[in-house]
């Protein structure tokens, strides 16, 4: 019956012939583990297709939701961590295997006649694989991918003549944006994979036509092995090992959450995917008009070498020992790429720059100090104009209500985190200097903890400047006991007033609450924007005279009303405050001592939603909650890995015993036959 | 370098070895597929079976609902649909029975999910899709609807109506939350 069906189909579709063409191949010298890399790459490519398709069940290629959709897949979908982890590490493994496969063929002289076309198709496959890696990295629309794409497409832009057109075409416009993501998406999931499939087919047909290259040693070539099942068994064995390694990587080294893409971020250090690091490092050697040499010249030269190789090196000799020049060139290329990749991996250009700017900054306060002493000797300051006087009165109110008093003392009232400003008007800081200090304090001293008051209007800053210029008290600033204001005894609130607002009373959370931020990046942002009020690492202790609490709430630990073990709820609670701000109640304020309130950083756009998401992740990590916690793992990643490992070890043991028993059985049978 | 005329020694084709390799390849491949297939299918299946738990949302003061006939009540709910968080507009039919008693019907016909309407002249709910007719209290009068109109959980606090938005399995006689 079954054979009838087989025959019926075979009469109409050549199953047998196709199977024969796919499996029947003689391998000179026999099957070998040296030949598994091509099939391993193919296996990985198929795995990438499957994991890729599965990701599209959840992923959307839009700039406002790509990151969230991927986070959702990874944290909320059962085995989403596995699907994404396999795809992420599979991409890396594919590049590695392609490189090993290429090196193997190079060493064996497999590019020589009659296999030139197989080689050329292979080199093209390498190019397309790199293109997959480049377009794929952009899709999460996270910091890593966004900046790698920004720089990568800019590199294309440095190409002489066609560069600008090329970069606009890649990006779908002059700037990175939704159209860039759409283009990268369609290239990554449809166009390049289709090309890859076609070229893999061509590569395989060419390979089958001329067969395996086999050992260079004539005597070893006499033994003939079969592709099916000898080589395929070895391939399958290697696949399982690769699969286990990938599952292990996905379980133990999950791809990082680098935070949602933020186009105005200056703290992130963009680096390309590891497989482009050699180029990134090489580019640094060429600057100015020579830049295209690094960006375009080097990769072009590299691929030109690979393309021309079979036509230049026509000597049929395949033994590597008798091909010193080819081996030397190969060694130089491999060594060069490896060295550049490693140096690229460990290079931190941003860190160096930071160090530099710190050095120049440390020189600055000294200069400022000399300016101050000089001005102190010149008591004839211009008197205040009437306009300045009225500005100063309003400025005093801004000073009292926008939180300045928490850190700065004026005439004995206020905190001691920042300098006493009672005599600020005597320092002869220009209005422009003061404006910059308020708007962007880090431009004067990169180490300052003073937050940038970007939420103030220009008018308010002007009034503050007038106020500060009017402060001309010559009395020596009071000694700064570190706890003076913090120890200010808070007044008991009336019974119907809550000391602290509940999240539900503040307002709705913003988009930031739904984005999984990056803790490290969040720490930087926290130090720059939040630490001056909430204390370094959220430890609190900064005075808020005038509020019932007396201090600004610490964030480590946060108040129990805000805490939740559910990362989404915790993030929501925190974001309600960061988005909308908060105004702690206090006793009826005297003018100078109104309780300092928190500005709505999201609402006023003082911070981007992306930045806020990173800060949330950091505050949550201070409280022992992982923003990127896997909520629905299916099976816990590590358990799943050990489960898979156990299954395969058991399988290998069973197969090994089966083989042993059958060979032993045979030898005993044959020896018994001999006896007879 | 290939010279086909040279004598080649084919590897010893031991039939038991060959069949072992074939079976081995099949078993290894099968298990690798299984290890991937189970999680990959689970990623699609359990996600589809997940039940969404609603929460009570303020639908406005009870006093704004007039007694007598059912009335459409609108309210906004912040809803998380997979990874998209949006404010969704909800509409329900509310029937006020007293100052402290409101019945709230889901606006979705329990037959196949169309939105039905109140016809004041007939004092009946009629679904335009397949002609199911319901009484004021939600009972099926005629038509293909398998069960009465679905009521939604409500509570009244300080004169405000709170409604928990839920969806139910369609086309079956029992009311099952999905």
Q: What is the domain partition of chain A in residue ranges?
A: 27-271, 384-477, 503-622, 635-666
* Count of all residues that appear for chain B in the document: 178
Q: Residue holding tokens 């029975």?
A: B97
Tens-digit pLDDT profile for residues B28-37? 999 999 999 9
Q: Inspect the interface and report whether the beta carbons of B11 and A232 lie closer than 8 Å.
A: no
Cα A513 from Cα A567, distance rounded (Å): 10
Q: Mapped to the 3 state alphabet, what secondary structure does B12-69 carry?
A: CCCHHHHHHHHHHHHHHHHHHHHHHHHHHHHHHHHHHHCCCCCCEEEEEEHHHCCECC
What is the model's pLDDT at position A383?
74
- Name which residue leads in pLDDT, A154 or A522: A522
Burial-class residue A672 by CB neighbours within 10 Å (0-12, 13-18, 19+).
exposed
Same domain, B38 and B61: no
Number of independent structural domains in chain B: 2
Two tokens, residue A267: 């703290």
Over residues A112-140, mean pLDDT:
95
CATH number 3.40.1190.20 given to A503-622: no
Question: Is A666 a residue whose pLDDT tops 60?
Answer: yes
Structural domain range at position B21: 15-50
Same domain for B99 and B125, yes or no, is yes
Contacts of A666 in chain B (CB under 8 A): 16
Q: Which residue has the tokens 């200097």?
A: A433
Nearest CA in chain B to A516: B83
Look up residue A649 and give its two tokens.
């070890």
In chain A, the residue whose alpha carbon lies closest to the alpha carbon of B16 is A662
Q: What single-letter DSSP state applies at residue B108? A: B
Find residue A532's DSSP bridge partners.
none
CB-based contacts of A166, cutoff 8 Å, min separation 6 = A156, A157, A159
Q: Looking at the structure, do residues B26 and B80 belong to the same domain, yes or no?
A: no
Please name the residue of chain A whose CA is at the shortest distance from the CA of residue B46: A78
Q: In this complex, is the C-beta atom of A252 within 8 Å of any C-beta atom belonging to chain B?
A: no
pLDDT score, position A436:
87
Percentage of chain A lying above the pLDDT 90 cut: 44
Query: Residue A484 has what pLDDT?
Result: 42
Other CB atoms within a 10 A radius of the CB of residue A45 amount to: 20
Which among A128-142, A312-326, A415-429, B4-18 has the top mean pLDDT?
A: A128-142
Asked whether residue B5 is domain-assigned, the answer is: no
User: Is residue B135 over pLDDT 60?
Assistant: yes
pLDDT at A359 exceeding the cut of 80: no
d(CA A89, CA A674): 55
pLDDT value at position B134? 95
CB atoms within 10 A of CB A387: 9
For A173-226, write each residue's pLDDT tens digit.
888 999 999 999 999 999 999 999 999 999 999 998 888 888 888 888 888 888
Do B113 and B66 lie in a common domain?
A: yes
CATH class of the region A384-477: mainly beta
Mean pLDDT confidence for A45-52:
97
Say if CB B115 and CB B109 are below 8 A apart.
yes
Measured in angstroms, the CA of A542 and the nearest CA of chain B are apart by 35
Tens of pLDDT, residue by residue over A249-268, are: 999 999 999 999 988 877 77
Residue A550: what pLDDT? 78
Cis ω for the linkage preceding A557 (within 30 of 0): yes
Same domain, B75 and B122: yes
CA A668 to chain CA mean position, Å: 61
- Under an 8 A CB cutoff, do B9 and A651 touch? no
Average pLDDT, integer, range A338-346: 90
Verify that B119 and B61 share a domain, yes or no.
Answer: yes
Residue A140 has pLDDT above 80, yes or no: yes
Same domain, B60 and B46: no
Compute the average pLDDT of residues A38-50.
96
Query: Which residues of B fall within a CB distance of 8 Å from A50?
Result: 36, 40
The pLDDT of residue A668 is 61
Cis status, amide bond into B93, omega within 30 of 0: no
- Which has the closest alpha carbon to A72: A497, A630, A518? A630
Please give the mean pLDDT across all residues of chain B: 87
What is the three-state SS of A189-212?
Answer: HHHHHHHHHHHHHHHHHHHHHHCC
Question: Which residue has better confidence, A455 or B101?
Answer: B101
The overall longest dimension of chain A from CA atoms, in Å, is: 127
Q: Kindly report, residue by residue over A387-434, the tens digit of the pLDDT.
A: 788 888 888 878 876 767 767 888 877 767 778 888 888 887 888 889
Query: Could you tell me the two tokens for A578?
Result: 């960061």
% of chain A surpassing 70 pLDDT: 87
Burial (CB < 10 A; 0-12, 13-18, 19+), residue A579, is buried
Assess if residue B123 is contained within a domain. yes
| pLDDT score of A489 | 55
Is B2 part of any domain?
no
Lowest mean pLDDT among A329-333, A459-463, A566-570, B112-116: A459-463
Mean pLDDT of chain A, nearest integer: 84
Of A500-504, B76-80, B122-126, least confident by mean pLDDT is A500-504
Q: How far is CA A423 from CA A414, A419, A476, in A?
A: 14, 10, 9
Please say if the pLDDT value at position A355 is more than 50.
Answer: no
* Domain contains B87: yes
CA of A236 vs chain B CAs: smallest distance (Å): 6
pLDDT digits (tens, 9 = 90+) for A66-79: 999 999 999 999 99
**pLDDT at residue B8 in the model:** 53
pLDDT-derived band at A293 (thresholds 50, 70, 90) equals confident
In a domain, B171, yes or no: no
The answer to which of A386-390, A637-641, B57-61, B124-128 has the lowest mean pLDDT is A386-390
Residues B24 and B108 both lie in one domain: no
- The confidence score (pLDDT) of residue A490 equals 58
Q: Are residues B26 and B72 in the same domain?
A: no
Q: Are B66 and B80 members of one domain?
A: yes
pLDDT in tens, B17-70: 888 888 889 989 999 999 999 999 999 998 888 777 788 999 989 888 888 889
Place of tokens 């050992």: A215
B87 and B123 inside one domain = yes
Q: How confident is the model at residue A365 (pLDDT cuts 50, 70, 90)?
A: very low
Residue of A nearest to B38 (CA): A79
The CA distances from residue A232 to A25, A39, B149, in Å, are 11, 9, 62
CB contact under 8 A, B28 and A647: no
Quick check: helix, strand or coil at residue A225?
Answer: strand
Answer whether B163's CB lies under 8 Å from B104's CB: yes
Residues of chain A with C-beta less than 8 angstroms from the C-beta of B24 = 229, 233, 236, 655, 659
Q: Please indicate if any CB of chain B lies within 8 Å of the CB of A58.
A: yes
Mean pLDDT, range B90-102, rounded to an integer = 89
DSSP letter, residue B144:
S
Average pLDDT over residues A233-241: 92
Question: Residue A676 above 60 pLDDT?
Answer: no
B42 in a structural domain: yes
Residue B8 lies in a domain: no
pLDDT at A377 over 60: no
Distance CA B59, CA B76 (A): 8
Contact list in B for residue A659 (CB cut-off 8 A) is: 20, 24
Interface test with A, best of B5, B85, B87, B88 (most A CBs within 10 A): B85
Q: Are A107 and A334 in contact (CB under 8 A)?
A: no
Q: Is the pLDDT of residue A357 over 50?
A: no
Whole-number Å distance between alpha carbons of A291 and A295: 6
Chain A / chain B CB contacts < 8 angstroms: 117
Give the pLDDT confidence of A557-581 residue by residue, as tens digits: 998 989 999 999 999 999 999 999 8
pLDDT of residue A460: 87
| Test the A interface: residue of B32, B34, B44 with most A CBs within 10 Å | B32
pLDDT of residue A374 exceeding 50? no
At the fourth CATH level, the homologous superfamily of domain A27-271 is: Cytochrome Bc1 Complex; Chain C (1.20.810.10)
Provide the pLDDT for residue A328. Answer: 94
Residues B106 and B134 both lie in one domain: yes
Q: pTM for the complete prediction?
A: 0.82
**B31 contacts in chain A (CB < 8 Å):** 240, 647-648, 651
């Amino acid at each position: 019956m079954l054979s009838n069906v087989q025959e019926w189909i075979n009469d109409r579709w050549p199953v047998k012939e196709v199977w024969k063409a796919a499996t029947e191949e003689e391998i000179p010298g026999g099957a070998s583990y040296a030949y598994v890399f091509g099939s391993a790459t193919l296996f990985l490519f198929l795995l990438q297709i499957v994991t890729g398709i599965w990701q599209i069940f959840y992923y959307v290629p839009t700039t406002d939701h790509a990151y969230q959709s991927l986070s959702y897949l990874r944290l909320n979908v059962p085995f989403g961590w596995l699907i994404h982890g396999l795809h992420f590490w599979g991409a890396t493994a594919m590049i590695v295997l392609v490189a090993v496969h290429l090196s193997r063929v190079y060493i064996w002289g497999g590019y020589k006649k009659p296999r030139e076309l197989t080689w050329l198709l292979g080199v093209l496959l390498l190019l397309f694989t790199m293109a997959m890696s480049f377009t794929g990295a952009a899709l999460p629309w996270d910091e890593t991918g966004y900046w790698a794409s920004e720089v990568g497409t800019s590199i294309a832009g440095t190409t002489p003549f066609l560069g600008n057109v090329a970069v606009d075409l890649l990006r779908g416009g002059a700037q990175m944006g939704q159209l860039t993501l759409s283009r990268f998406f369609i290239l990554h999931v449809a166009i390049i994979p289709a090309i890859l499939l076609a070229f893999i087919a061509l590569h395989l047909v060419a390979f089958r036509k001329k067969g395996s290259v086999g050992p260079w040693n004539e005597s070893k070539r006499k033994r003939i092995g079969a592709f099916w099942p000898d080589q395929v068994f070895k391939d399958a064995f290697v696949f399982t090992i690769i699969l286990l390694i990938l599952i292990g990587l996905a379980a133990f080294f999950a791809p990082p959450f680098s935070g949602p893409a933020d186009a105005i971020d200056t703290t992130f250090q963009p680096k390309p995917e590891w497989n482009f690091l050699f180029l990134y490092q090489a580019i640094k050697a060429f600057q100015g008009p020579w830049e295209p040499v690094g960006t375009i010249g080097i990769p072009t030269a590299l691929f030109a070498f690979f393309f021309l190789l079979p036509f230049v090196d026509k000597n049929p000799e395949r033994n590597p020992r008798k091909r010193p020049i080819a081996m030397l060139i190969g060694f130089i290329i491999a060594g060069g790429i490896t060295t550049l990749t490693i140096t690229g991996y460990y290079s931190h250009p941003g860190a160096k720059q930071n160090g530099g700017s710190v050095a120049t900054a440390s020189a600055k306060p000294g200069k400022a100090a000399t300016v101050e002493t000089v001005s102190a000797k010149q008591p004839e300051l211009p008197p205040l104009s009437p306009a300045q006087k009225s500005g100063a009165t309003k400025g005093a109110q801004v000073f009292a209500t926008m939180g300045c008093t928490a850190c700065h003392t004026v005439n004995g009232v206020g905190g001691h985190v920042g300098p006493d400003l009672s005599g600020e008007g005597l320092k002869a800081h220009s209005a422009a200097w003061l404006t910059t200090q308020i708007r962007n304090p880090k431009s004067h001293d990169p180490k300052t903890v003073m937050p940038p008051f970007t939420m103030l209007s220009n008018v308010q800053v002007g009034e503050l400047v007038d106020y500060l210029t009017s402060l001309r008290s010559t009395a020596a600033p009071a000694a700064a006991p570190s706890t003076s204001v913090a120890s200010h005894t808070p007044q008991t609130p009336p019974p119907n007033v809550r000391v602290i607002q509940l999240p539900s009373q503040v307002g709705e959370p913003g988009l930031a609450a739904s984005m999984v931020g990056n803790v490290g990046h969040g720490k930087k942002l926290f130090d720059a924007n939040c630490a001056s009020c909430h204390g370094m690492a959220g430890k609190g202790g900064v005075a808020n005279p005038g509020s019932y609490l007396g201090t600004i709430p610490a964030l480590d630990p946060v108040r129990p009303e805000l805490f939740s073990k559910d990362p989404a709820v915790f993030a929501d609670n925190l974001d309600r405050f960061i988005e909308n701000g908060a105004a702690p109640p206090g006793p009826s304020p005297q003018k100078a001592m109104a309780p300092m309130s928190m500005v709505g950083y999201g609402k006023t756009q003082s911070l981007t939603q992306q930045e806020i998401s990173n800060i949330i992740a950091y505050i949550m990590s201070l409280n022992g909650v992982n923003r990127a916690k896997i909520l629905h793992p299916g099976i816990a990643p590590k358990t799943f890995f050990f489960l898979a490992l156990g299954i395969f070890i058991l399988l290998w043991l069973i197969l090994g015993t089966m083989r042993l028993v059958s060979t032993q059985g045979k030898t005993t049978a044959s020896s018994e036959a001999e006896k007879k | 370098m290939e010279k086909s005329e040279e004598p080649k020694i084919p590897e010893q084709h031991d039939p038991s070895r060959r069949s072992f390799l074939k079976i081995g390849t099949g078993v290894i491949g099968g298990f690798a597929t299984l290890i991937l297939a189970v999680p990959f299918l689970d990623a699609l299946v359990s996600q589809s079976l997940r039940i969404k738990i609603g929460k009570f949302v303020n639908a406005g003061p009870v006093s704004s609902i007039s007694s007598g006939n059912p009335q459409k009540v609108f309210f906004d709910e912040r809803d998380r649909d997979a990874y998209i968080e949006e404010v969704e507009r909800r509409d329900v039919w509310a029937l006020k029975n007293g100052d402290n008693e409101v019945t709230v019907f889901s606006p979705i016909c329990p037959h196949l999910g169309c939105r039905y309407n109140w016809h004041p002249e007939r004092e009946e709910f009629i679904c335009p899709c397949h002609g199911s007719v319901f009484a004021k209290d939600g009972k099926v009068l005629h038509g293909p609807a398998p069960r009465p109109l679905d009521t939604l959980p409500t509570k009244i606090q300080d004169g405000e109506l709170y409604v928990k938005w839920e969806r139910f399995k369609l086309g079956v006689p029992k009311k099952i939350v999905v």
